[in-house]
Amino acid sequence: MSTTVEPSPPPAWEPLTPQGVAAFARASFGRLFLVQLIVAALAAGVVVWFLDTAWFPVVREAIRQMPPQGEIRGAQLGWPGNTPAQLAGNHFLGFAVDLTHSGTIAREAHVQIEFGRKDVRVFLLVHYWVLDYPDGWRIAFNRTELEPLWGAWEPGLLAIAAAAVIVGLMMTWAVLATVYCLPTWLITFFENRDLNLRQSWRLSGAALMPGALFLTFGIFSYGLNLADLLQLAVLGGLHLVIGWVYLVLSPLFLPRNPAVAKAGRNPFAAKPPVETPDTKLQTPSSKSSRTSFDD
């Protein structure tokens, strides 16, 4: 008697296709963690690249344009230089000093930080937020003190940004996989696929990686001026939709439930009518005989 041998699942290494995502359902937690860590590290590398090439050079130039003296003390900015004054800026980030927030400085950067006498305003396109200076603090606001401090902080800030992206993504994926695993298991249940809740959690975690890679590519494109800030926001929304699409499509590449395959039909399909002694008597031959007798 021949036996049917189930094909071995493909190795779980690539989270780019629905079939590749489905393979993580049968993989170990360590394999999923390793691939997620690689994807998170790639995203962190792109974020660090963006900060190092688009934002941090503007910060360095803004510090160089500050006067030798200046500080924030008593919740007020003491600025001995000219105002309004544009310190530094590019397409992505800009710094300016306008003690009265007169609005005479052109805000061409996507993110514009404007220091006033009693507060700092952060402009993002047409919106802005007001942050008051802390009372009782003394904050250096001059080239003499800030230039060496920034030189010492810059590598550490890049490392913190990389760690924040990696840890944030790993924690977010774990939480979302916990939220999505039950709906994913229900999808596979009604599609007659072989999957338990633990495997569903791993599949849900893997399904989130394609969207993260898509958003990483979006950030890279934004850093190259191939996409503007609004387009980046749209890409950020689409990366969530991509995860949902993979959650629906990936279970289709799982093997069928062996119990359902053995039964040979869907357990939710309509059951065939049960034969009774009365129905057995109503055969075509008996019907034709009775008709002939009547004739």
Question: How confident is the model at residue 13, as a pLDDT?
Answer: 83
Contacts of 5 (CB under 8 A, 6+ apart): none
Q: H or E segment at 86?
A: strand 85-89
Are 114 and 170 contacting, i.e. CB atoms less than 8 angstroms apart?
no
Report the distance separating Cα 45 and Cα 267, nearest Å: 49
87 and 66 Cβ atoms separated by less than 8 Å:
yes
The one-character DSSP state at 8 is P
- The single-letter code of the amino acid at 37 is L
> What is the mean pLDDT for each group of 10 consecutive residues in the chain (295 residues)?
48 84 89 95 97 96 94 91 89 93 85 94 88 90 94 95 97 94 81 80 93 96 91 92 91 72 49 53 47 44
Q: Report the 10 Å Cβ neighbour count for 268.
A: 9
Q: Which one, of 230, 249, 239, lies nearest residue 172 by Cα? A: 239
Strand-pair partners of 72: 77, 139
Q: Which residues of 48-71 are buried (b: 16+ CB within 10 A; e: fewer)?
A: bebbbebebebbeebbeebeeebb
pLDDT at site 157: 96
> What is the rounded distance in angstroms from the CA atom of residue 35 to the CA atom of residue 28?
11
CA atoms of 34 and 87, how far apart (whole Å):
44
Strand pairing of 138-140 and 85-89? unpaired
Which has the closest alpha carbon to 201: 25, 70, 64?
Answer: 25
Write the DSSP string, 50-79: HIIIIIHHHHHHHHHTS-S--EEETTEEE-
CB-side neighbour CA atoms (13 Å) of 176: 19
Pairing of strands 85-89, 93-97: antiparallel
Per-residue pLDDT at 193? 76
Token duo for residue 173: 């994926």
Retrieve residue 291's tokens. Answer: 């008709």
Looking at residue 295, its pLDDT comes to 45
Q: Angle at which helices 143-190 and 197-207 pack, to 10 degrees?
A: 130
- CA distances to 89, 165, 205 from 170, rounded to whole Å, are 33, 9, 9
Both tokens of residue 196?
A: 């338990």
The pTM assigned to this predicted structure is 0.79
